[in-house]
Amino acid sequence: MRWRYLATVYIFVFLFLAVSLRLFYWQVVKAEELTSMGQSQYGSLISIEPKRGDIQTRDGFPLVTNRLSYLVFANPKEIKDADKVGNVLSPLLDIASASLSARLTQNGFWVSLKSGIDTKTKDAIDALHIPGVGFEEDYARLYPEASMAATLLGFVGKDEIGNAKGYFGLEGYYDRQLKGRYGQAVEIHDALGRPILSQLSGNGTVQDGRTLVLTIDRSLQFLVDQKLKEGVENFGATSGMIGIMDPKNGDILAMANYPSFDENTFWQYDTSLYRNPFITDLYEPGSTIKPLVMAGALNNGLVKPDTTCPICSGPVKVGDYDIHTWNNEYFPNISMKDIIRHSDNTGMVYVSEKMGLDKMVSNFENFGLTNTTGIDLQGETNSHMLDRKTWYPIDVATSAFGQGISVTALQLLDGFAALANNGVRMQPRVVDKIVTSDGETIPIPPKELSHPVSSTTAKVMTEMLVYTVNKGEASFARIKGYRIAGKTGTASIPVAGHYDPTQTIASFIGYAPADNPKFVMLVVFNKPTASIYGAETAAPTFFSITRHILSYYGIAPTENE
Amino acid sequence: MKKTTKILAALVLVVAALLLTRIVLSSAFSVDGIALDGINTQLEAISKENMLLKERLYTASSYVTVASDAANLGYVEQKSQISLSGTSPLAIKQ
């Protein structure tokens, strides 16, 4: 009897184990595969696109936000007369009726007619009650200020799988913050495979993008956009750029380039217009670099403002080259402050000889001309400073007046801003804070980068620059009653191993009010034809903008003139 | 009455009571779905309207629109700036 009992027990245990193993196989090993098979029978996994974050100026006004947009689609099986529907929709969708008719006669259940249409057009089509024509809701970018600051903002295109992706500028740099997190949901189908949209579930994981609050001042940006366009057209330049920064914290208040593009129709523009030349293009800065070299010499105790130049009575020979002044006028025993005022190249050669190679290169490094500034924009370029061992004496001499070295406009602006900020160089920044979809604010604090010169040197240099504005070549354009520090620049353009004498990059850099600067600004015109000089093109534009900014900030004149 | 019959009767009563409760609750909740759907539809419509209004507001209050409208109305930029520098001469004839 006992063996029968044991046999029955063993058989049951064996069967139990076999069932358990089989269940483990189906429920654990093959679980994922079976789940997806099951889901595919009653529905399909769809991804839910989050709402992209806004980009706001410092006053909270959106330069970029979202608008409702629609994709128009049709089911050709339900369209009775494709030609008639094509003719009706053609003017509304701005597509040739023949092209529409061809799509409406395709053999399928779903054809896309046009994406990105606005609510007004959608309502107009909806009112026609055409059977077989439907809409899919979507979001598109809205630019209330049109193409203002386009190169700064960048644009939104598609990635390789068709999802929204930011390119260039802020859209590119902060793409991960702006785009949010995609959600996933199962779209349930009915017995005939038609989607039951109300049965979407599991969309809790979708998270909308974060909003960027910029340091950009909308009023200044609007002003700068207008003045730059006017300047480029008036002076017959091929292009131009302007940047304004708060030297105390590195806040970029405005940054404009012209010509630019319209973000709404970016694909219609040449791709070269997408980048922001202020941070991507290297150029020889010319005389605008002289204050930085002079500040380095002052800081090292090599010269004083009233030190005289013993080699400035004529062209200076360096190696096989003769260095001339820009207008071939020479001032024997000219002082350092007058070297800056007259933008005297021979005087700067004297300063460079006093400094020597090591101090010159170290000075450029301290002012940030050899590294990227780290601004929060996509595409910043780094300048290529030669290795110290490969410098010739002529390179040291020419770099003192801005030839033979290349910088970005932003590097120059940031270096110059140190003079306006008691010798402290700040990191330029465009985003002040990030606001999450839950309303949490993440501040981005200002950051110090270096101390290229002492506070005393910065003050002495500021006095020299105020003297330059009041007595120099651009003094005709200055604003009476205000102490403004600045310097003109007329840089030759290197072409095939030599400098083109007829084409220049005209610029002006400065800050105001000189004793407590609210802003530092760089104006650059590329190849102006009305005049090749910075004093006659960039300087008037600089002072025109400065006049508005002083009025905008409510800064009263301090001088009796 | 036998004890078994009493237990059976009690069980039947419990089942009947639970069934009745379920019917009452189900009928009460069945219309909540319709109300919820109505609220969701309303919410969606308001969100959409809000978005359209925001779009109109931003476009109308943008500097580009304001400047363009101002130019159309004949406003021109003030080119000169007047500033009072220094002390104003008070009672100069005294």
In A, which residues are within 8 Å of B67 by CB distance? 222
Q: How far apart are CA A345 and CA A398, in angstroms?
A: 8
Predicted confidence at residue A139, as pLDDT, reads 87
Q: What 8-state DSSP symbol labels residue A106?
A: S
Positions of chain A with pLDDT under 50: 198-199
pLDDT at B64 over 80: yes
Minimal C-alpha gap between B38 and chain A (Å): 13
Predicted confidence at residue A388, as pLDDT, reads 84
Predicted confidence at residue A184, as pLDDT, reads 74
Predicted confidence at residue A199, as pLDDT, reads 46
B64 closest CB neighbour out of A67, A146, A560: A146
Predicted confidence at residue B87, as pLDDT, reads 54
Minimal C-alpha gap between A482 and chain B (Å): 10
Calculate the CA A512 to chain-centre distance: 24
Predicted confidence at residue A383, as pLDDT, reads 80
Q: How far apart are CA A7 and CA A3, in angstroms?
A: 6
3-state helix/strand/coil string of A488-513: EEEEEEEECCEEEEEEEEEEEEEEEC
A65 closest CB neighbour out of B48, B58, B83: B58
Chain A touched by B49 (CB under 8 Å):
no
- Cα dist from A513 to A164, A465, A479, A534, whole Å: 44, 12, 11, 21
Which ipTM was obtained for this model? Answer: 0.78
Chain A touched by B63 (CB under 8 Å):
yes
Cβ within 8 Å, pair B85-A561: yes
Up-side HSE of residue A239: CA atoms within 13 Å toward CB?
13
In B, which residues are within 8 Å of A145 by CB distance? 62-64
Minimal C-alpha gap between B55 and chain A (Å): 7
SS3 A110: coil
In B, which residues are within 8 Å of A481 by CB distance? 83, 85
Cβ within 8 Å, pair B51-A144: no
H runs (alpha helix) in A315-384? 336-342, 345-366
B63 closest CB neighbour out of A67, A218, A559: A218
Minimal C-alpha gap between A222 and chain B (Å): 7
Predicted confidence at residue B27, as pLDDT, reads 86
Chain A touched by B75 (CB under 8 Å):
no
Strand partners, A487: A509
Chain A residues with at least one Cβ partner in B under 8 Å: 61-62, 65-68, 119, 142, 144-146, 148, 198, 218-219, 222, 481, 547, 551, 556-561
Predicted confidence at residue A320, as pLDDT, reads 85
A119 closest CB neighbour out of B52, B63, B67: B52
Cβ within 8 Å, pair B83-A547: no
Minimal C-alpha gap between A531 and chain B (Å): 23
Q: Which of B46, B64, B80 to mutate to test the interface with A (most CBs of A within 10 A)?
A: B64
Q: How far apart are CA B83 and CA A553, in angstroms?
A: 14
- Chain B CA closest to residue A551: B81
Q: How far apart are CA A425 and CA A452, in angstroms?
A: 7
For the residues of B32-83, what is the DSSP string, one character each?
A: HHHHHHHHHHHHHHHHHHHHHHHHHHHHHTSHHHHHHHHHHTT---------
Cβ within 8 Å, pair A222-B67: yes
Minimal C-alpha gap between B22 and chain A (Å): 25
- Chain B CA closest to residue A219: B63
Q: How far apart are CA B24 and CA B31, in angstroms?
A: 12
In A, which residues are within 8 Å of B59 by CB distance? 142, 144
Interface size between A and B, measured as CB pairs under 8 A: 48
Cβ within 8 Å, pair B63-A547: no
Cβ within 8 Å, pair B51-A67: yes
Predicted confidence at residue A373, as pLDDT, reads 96
| B34-63 per-position pLDDT tens digit | 888 889 889 989 998 999 999 999 999 999
Minimal C-alpha gap between A481 and chain B (Å): 7
Predicted confidence at residue A144, as pLDDT, reads 93
H runs (alpha helix) in A317-432? 336-342, 345-366, 393-399, 409-420
Q: Which of B61, B62, B76 to mutate to test the interface with A (most CBs of A within 10 A)?
A: B62
Where do the domains of chain B lie? Answer: 3-71
Which own/partner pairs from A125-130 qualify as long-range (CB within 8 Å, at least 24 positions apart)? A125/A72, A125/A89, A125/A92, A125/A93, A128/A88, A130/A79, A130/A85, A130/A88, A130/A89
